[in-house]
Chains A and B, each alone.
Chain A
């Protein structure tokens, strides 16, 4: 199950962080997301692991921590999407699909003329859309 999703701006400033656990571990999740940025930078900056997935938006598994798995996605506009999940066997396709829909939601959110670029996303409809996407995560029916 997805524990937390986050949108991080191109200056590594959090634009949207939402945790889906009833436990009050917002802080820990913030830390995890925050640290994951290091890994994102590492992935992007040093072309050690070059080849096809060098420029792919989907960054795959960033790192496992405790009992979480952290996945990353970096758009062309240097906006990062972070996904923290507790599932043990996560199908790559599912994550990709999730990120694709999440990205779509994000694009619609920032296309709102009243949204100030670089500011936190406060749109309620965005939040709702995200939660539905998160709910449908892992279900193969999800498209």
Chain B
């Protein structure tokens, strides 16, 4: 441990606990000294502290020791008294306030960050004004009568040489009524060492008179006690002292220059010598002597066992002494006071051993006497003595603790002393690096005085920081506490300072409550000081406090807004986190060569569009190359990666704003911040880049946002409810070409504060670097555009496309294209994503009204459109070459819409067009249209075809129609078979099918037709069968008989796409039939949600196969019933079998008859004849209509089961016959059976094995099976016994 004398406390003690010399001077002395701007006291003060006055000292002990540093404290007699509390307080307050101002002014604008090395290094010396303040506090407690080290040990009587009657003056200077109460009150010995000083002012003339008086003095007061001091020797020019000894002692340095201007060096030397003599020759010896005699006295009365006992007994004796708070009065002559004096003198002469022994001695006495104040004082001194002796810390601290608590117990009486004691104690602890304990002591000495406690708390906080390991959190906490105290006694600046220091602790921690509180108050206080900018800065920290309660949020926000309002101007801040911007949500929508007809179109995946457009655009590589090299002429390579946008066309950005608070916040003036640089050359764009990196400067932003000559931005206002999130679309429209870069977004919070958000900064740098590679959507390119001069842009829409439609609904739409610019566009192409829903019509359809145009004209039997369905393949549709759109009048083109199947359909169509003038960078553009259509189920149509057993190539068609709608009712109008060679005819008259002409909601009907393959009949004669009636009106002819021509566009086209949609791509198959069912909606009054009910609906059924399992169909022909006399003989029955080969290849057929030995028993006579007459042998045929197959399968199974219930009969004739069938030809072969008893027989027990000779034409036939086997079908024959 270091030498205690060098510690701060040691210094303080050596300063403060030193002999006091009382100064009494006549006014004239003062006058002469005042010529130097100094009072007499001050004149002497600098020369009272000696660093190496080398004096041998011999106190009680015999061996002397040498004293080096020594100091005298000079006081005017008038000042030798308890300082006035009021004044003291005032002075303290003033000191603090000044300090506040001073420190605050030099307060750094940014919060200092604290870590441990800081704590150790720069905060080692706490703010300097603390020391000063503590000194003051110590001074307040001085000149108490219960301790002797403030009692004057000597007094200087100064009389000027030009006072008249100096001797008498000396006498009455020291007359008792002027003396301070300490001496008069008997607290100390009034006859103290006096020194008579004659002051001569050389400006008043020569020194003869002085010397005369001096000799006179010597004769009266004795030679030793007198001395003569001549000052103001420099009569003429005032001198400047380069090292001014007085300056440091003056309170304020301002008037420190003129000091001592009339004192030349030998004057100063004289003063030096005087004081040195005084202290070394008179004061110290005097003290020594006093110590010695006091010591003898004490040891005589108190040392030794007897004295102890006696003393003890005696004190017990005067037990009944009045128990006044500061115990009995002791006057100077009392032994106790003398011991105390002895101790203090010893202390002042650094004979600490002696001092300690005496303090010990006396403290017990005081304790017994309950003289608490004195007791405390002694304890205090003991503590200090222990410290100075640097031994037994425990003792020292115990004493200090003891003294402190005793003082505190005394209440107001001991207040100041308590504080002083505390401070000394603290210093002691600090000297020993026990900062934590020191802090607690600080905590204890902050009394009820708020300001005082504030200062103490702050000092405590510093102690917490200084202790190892530094307790930063406590540091912060105490700073906050003291800050509150400062605030209470409105030392705002101190409060702010402490809070800001507290911030340094909280910085980066997640203790949001504390953080918010501190920031908020700093903000408030700055605001109260009128420093609104800083206030706003702090308040902004806590705006997005989602963790706080609603009330708090409101408070914060309202206060913040008020502060901002007070500033009078609108604030602009870079990262205002209210509202929060969701960076990941940012989406940039721009149109280069691709343009969007509607926002919904922009949201469709790019890949989908590409797939739609790929065969329309000039092939990608070439396109890229040609407009890249075109660009490379116009712009540097670097920009060629950046996006292209066209002057006059808006670039849109979708941004998502989120409100973290629970309270609504109004946002206004949300707009993009853009930079537009006219030229696109390398250097310029580079420097753009460079200061885009660091464009956090607000003014930069403002400048950006201000100039909107070269572009215009849209502004949006909205209000965010609590916790709400909204997506906002902002747009910027460049007006001239160049480079446009979107820097960020700006918005205005509740009209007063403008927030900026910088897109670039929000992206990490590495992304940008990576971004170079992938041309698009890399952060820096995403917001950077090359603006090229404006080119035509088609606007397109589809007129009256329904949002909802019933399945099968057929409508005529009009595609409308406009080109507002003054350049024409040519070479239009168009591609539609769902040709089943949309097809392109002919221009003349526009004129003809709907649905009349669909009906069959009498004259135009075969139309042009139906001639070649080839163009209707789903490739690109080319508009006629001569079409070029320009100007006001829209370009119209008919489209046909048919709701193919129920569901939600998103129709995409892309229109490609080329720009008239070649000069522009972009040669072609595409217009992308997108619509959503909801298709509701309407009619559910299913067909079921089964071959007739009456005639070859005749079929029964069963039509099932179910109305799936909820409210609509339709009129099933017409059924047509597609293709020339199918003829359909009704089995029943239509009115029996539809008693009330319409199909109600949810109603189902089924009706039967016969379908005849007319080709078979006309196969020989190849002229087209015009007479074939393939359209069938299902309404009674009474109503208007217009027949829809299904061979006409658009029906034929839709039908084509329908048949393509069925994955059955064989055109040439002659065994399949297609049906088109036309139905019309009746004007139903209870119209459902649809805006306009469908007028005409068409349902298409394709590739219904008429063929059986294979190409072979056959028919057993013979009698159904016959009579026979079985008594005569068994009965032979001859039958014929007709076989037809419907394939293109020759077929070999083998008929195997098998005699089943089934159990006998007559089958009941067959059920309804239709049922008996018809059934199909087709196992699952690969046809498109699921219903048919399923039915077929069931029936087939039924048959298979009932096979065994046949009664015996015998096939006669060959059991196996082979036949050779030419393609498309029929043969017939005889069959014979024998029956032996009457009954009904089922002749189904035979099998047809057929095989196609694969030669013929091989092409399409691989799909069909090459061979097969058919069960015979039931053929009932009834034989009756003839009577």
Q: Would A and B touch once assembled, by the CB under 8 A criterion? A: yes
Enumerate chain A interface residues (CB-CB to B < 8 A).
Answer: 12-14, 26-27, 30-31, 34-35, 37-39, 41-42, 45-46
Partner of A31, one of B469, B480, B509: B480
Distance (whole angstroms) from the CB of A15 to the closest CB of chain B: 9
Assuming A27-B514, A27-B517, A41-B469, is B474 touching A12 (CB within 8 A)? no
If A38-B473, A39-B471, A45-B469 are given as contacts, then 16 extra A-B residue pairs at C-beta distance below 8 Å, sorted by A number, are A14-B510, A14-B511, A26-B513, A27-B513, A27-B514, A30-B511, A30-B513, A31-B514, A34-B476, A34-B511, A35-B477, A38-B464, A41-B469, A41-B471, A42-B469, A46-B469
What CA separation (Å) do A27 and B480 show in the bound complex? 12
What CA separation (Å) do A38 and B476 show in the bound complex? 11
Flag whether B472 is at the interface (Cβ < 8 A): yes
Across the interface, do B473 and A34 meet the contact criterion of CB distance under 8 Å? yes
Q: Which of B468-498 contact A (CB under 8 A)?
A: 469, 471-474, 476-477, 480
What CA separation (Å) do A41 and B469 show in the bound complex? 9
Assuming A12-B509, A13-B509, A35-B477, is B514 touching A30 (CB within 8 A)? yes
Question: Main SS of the interface on chain A?
Answer: helix
Residue of B nearest to A32 (CB): B477
Q: 12 A-B pairs, CB-CB below 8 angstroms?
A: A13-B511, A14-B510, A14-B511, A26-B513, A27-B514, A30-B513, A31-B477, A31-B514, A34-B473, A34-B476, A35-B477, A41-B471
Q: Report B-chain residues with C-beta under 8 Å of the C-beta of A42.
A: 469, 471
User: Quick one: which of A14, A31, A37, A41 has the most chain B CB within 10 A?
Assistant: A31
Across the interface, do A38 and B511 meet the contact criterion of CB distance under 8 Å? no
What CA separation (Å) do A30 and B514 show in the bound complex? 7
Enumerate chain B interface residues (CB-CB to A < 8 A).
Answer: 464, 469, 471-474, 476-477, 480, 509-511, 513-514, 517
Q: Report B-chain residues with C-beta under 8 Å of the C-beta of A14.
A: 510-511
Across the interface, do B473 and A37 meet the contact criterion of CB distance under 8 Å? yes
Distance (whole angstroms) from the CB of A16 to the closest CB of chain B: 12
Distance (whole angstroms) from the CB of A36 to the closest CB of chain B: 8
Across the interface, do A38 and B472 meet the contact criterion of CB distance under 8 Å? yes
Q: Report B-chain residues with C-beta under 8 Å of the C-beta of A35.
A: 471, 473-474, 477
Residue of A nearest to B468 (CB): A46
Q: Report B-chain residues with C-beta under 8 Å of the C-beta of A27.
A: 513-514, 517
Partner of B514, one of A34, A37, A45, A46: A34
Distance (whole angstroms) from the CB of A111 to the closest CB of chain B: 23
What CA separation (Å) do A27 and B511 show in the bound complex? 10
What CA separation (Å) do A38 and B470 show in the bound complex? 9
Q: Report A-chain residues with C-beta under 8 Å of the C-beta of B464.
A: 38
Q: Report B-chain residues with C-beta under 8 Å of the C-beta of A12.
A: 509
Across the interface, do B473 and A13 meet the contact criterion of CB distance under 8 Å? no
What CA separation (Å) do A14 and B510 show in the bound complex? 7
Q: Report A-chain residues with C-beta under 8 Å of the C-beta of B473.
A: 34-35, 37-38
Question: Main SS of the interface on chain B?
Answer: helix
Across the interface, do A13 and B510 meet the contact criterion of CB distance under 8 Å? yes
Residue of A nearest to B464 (CB): A38
Q: Which 7 A-B pairs rank lowest in CB-CB distance, beginning with the nearest?
A: A38-B471, A13-B510, A30-B513, A38-B473, A35-B477, A35-B473, A38-B474
What CA separation (Å) do A75 and B480 show in the bound complex? 30
Residue of A nearest to B510 (CB): A13
Q: Report B-chain residues with C-beta under 8 Å of the C-beta of A31.
A: 477, 480, 514
User: Quick one: which of A27, A34, A37, A42 has the most chain B CB within 10 A?
Assistant: A34
Residue of A nearest to B472 (CB): A38
What CA separation (Å) do A12 and B471 show in the bound complex? 13
What CA separation (Å) do A12 and B514 show in the bound complex? 14
What CA separation (Å) do A45 and B510 show in the bound complex? 23
Q: Report B-chain residues with C-beta under 8 Å of the C-beta of A39.
A: 471
What CA separation (Å) do A34 and B513 show in the bound complex? 11
What CA separation (Å) do A39 and B436 show in the bound complex? 11
What CA separation (Å) do A142 and B166 show in the bound complex? 92
Residue of B nearest to A33 (CB): B511
Residue of B nearest to A46 (CB): B469
Residue of B nearest to A29 (CB): B513
Assuming A12-B509, A13-B509, A14-B511, is B469 touching A34 (CB within 8 A)? no
What CA separation (Å) do A35 and B474 show in the bound complex? 5
Q: Report A-chain residues with C-beta under 8 Å of the C-beta of B514.
A: 27, 30-31, 34
Across the interface, do B477 and A34 meet the contact criterion of CB distance under 8 Å? yes
Distance (whole angstroms) from the CB of B1181 to the closest CB of chain A: 56
User: Quick one: which of A27, A38, A39 has the most chain B CB within 10 A?
Assistant: A38
Q: Report A-chain residues with C-beta under 8 Å of the C-beta of B471.
A: 35, 38-39, 41-42
Distance (whole angstroms) from the CB of B432 to the closest CB of chain A: 16
What CA separation (Å) do A138 and B273 show in the bound complex? 78
Q: Report B-chain residues with C-beta under 8 Å of the C-beta of A37.
A: 473
Residue of A nearest to B515 (CB): A30
What CA separation (Å) do A105 and B469 show in the bound complex? 33
Q: Report B-chain residues with C-beta under 8 Å of the C-beta of A38.
A: 464, 471-474
What CA separation (Å) do A97 and B237 show in the bound complex? 88
Residue of B nearest to A63 (CB): B474
Distance (whole angstroms) from the CB of A74 to the closest CB of chain B: 16
What CA separation (Å) do A30 and B517 show in the bound complex? 11
What CA separation (Å) do A43 and B477 show in the bound complex? 19
What CA separation (Å) do A110 and B510 show in the bound complex? 19
What CA separation (Å) do A38 and B473 show in the bound complex? 6
Q: Report A-chain residues with C-beta under 8 Å of the C-beta of B510.
A: 13-14
Q: Report B-chain residues with C-beta under 8 Å of the C-beta of A46.
A: 469
What CA separation (Å) do A37 and B474 show in the bound complex? 9
Q: Report A-chain residues with C-beta under 8 Å of the C-beta of B469.
A: 41-42, 45-46
Distance (whole angstroms) from the CB of A32 to the closest CB of chain B: 8
What CA separation (Å) do A14 and B506 show in the bound complex? 13
What CA separation (Å) do A43 and B649 show in the bound complex? 69
What CA separation (Å) do A45 and B469 show in the bound complex? 9
What CA separation (Å) do A37 and B509 show in the bound complex? 13
Distance (whole angstroms) from the CB of B253 to the closest CB of chain A: 42
Residue of B nearest to A13 (CB): B510
User: Quick one: which of A27, A30, A35, A46 has the most chain B CB within 10 A?
Assistant: A35
What CA separation (Å) do A1 and B477 show in the bound complex? 24
Q: Report A-chain residues with C-beta under 8 Å of the C-beta of B509.
A: 12-13
Q: Report B-chain residues with C-beta under 8 Å of the C-beta of A26.
A: 513
Q: Report A-chain residues with C-beta under 8 Å of the C-beta of B511.
A: 13-14, 30, 34
Distance (whole angstroms) from the CB of A124 to the closest CB of chain B: 17
Distance (whole angstroms) from the CB of B555 to the closest CB of chain A: 13
What CA separation (Å) do A26 and B511 show in the bound complex? 12
Residue of A nearest to B480 (CB): A31
What CA separation (Å) do A88 and B474 show in the bound complex? 23
Distance (whole angstroms) from the CB of A30 to the closest CB of chain B: 5
What CA separation (Å) do A42 and B473 show in the bound complex? 12
Distance (whole angstroms) from the CB of B463 to the closest CB of chain A: 13
What CA separation (Å) do A41 and B471 show in the bound complex? 9
Q: Report B-chain residues with C-beta under 8 Å of the C-beta of A34.
A: 473, 476-477, 511, 514
What CA separation (Å) do A34 and B469 show in the bound complex? 16
What CA separation (Å) do A37 and B464 show in the bound complex? 13
Distance (whole angstroms) from the CB of B519 to the closest CB of chain A: 13
Distance (whole angstroms) from the CB of A113 to the closest CB of chain B: 23
What CA separation (Å) do A37 and B517 show in the bound complex? 19
What CA separation (Å) do A12 and B506 show in the bound complex? 12
What CA separation (Å) do A31 and B478 show in the bound complex? 10
Q: Report B-chain residues with C-beta under 8 Å of the C-beta of A41.
A: 469, 471
What CA separation (Å) do A41 and B474 show in the bound complex? 12
What CA separation (Å) do A39 and B471 show in the bound complex? 8
Distance (whole angstroms) from the CB of A110 to the closest CB of chain B: 17
Residue of B nearest to A36 (CB): B473
Q: Report B-chain residues with C-beta under 8 Å of the C-beta of A30.
A: 511, 513-514
Residue of A nearest to B516 (CB): A27
Residue of B nearest to A38 (CB): B471
Residue of B nearest to A30 (CB): B513
Distance (whole angstroms) from the CB of A64 to the closest CB of chain B: 12
What CA separation (Å) do A12 and B473 show in the bound complex? 11
Distance (whole angstroms) from the CB of A31 to the closest CB of chain B: 5
Distance (whole angstroms) from the CB of A112 to the closest CB of chain B: 21
What CA separation (Å) do A34 and B473 show in the bound complex? 7
What CA separation (Å) do A39 and B472 show in the bound complex? 11
What CA separation (Å) do A37 and B475 show in the bound complex? 12
Q: Report A-chain residues with C-beta under 8 Å of the C-beta of B477.
A: 31, 34-35
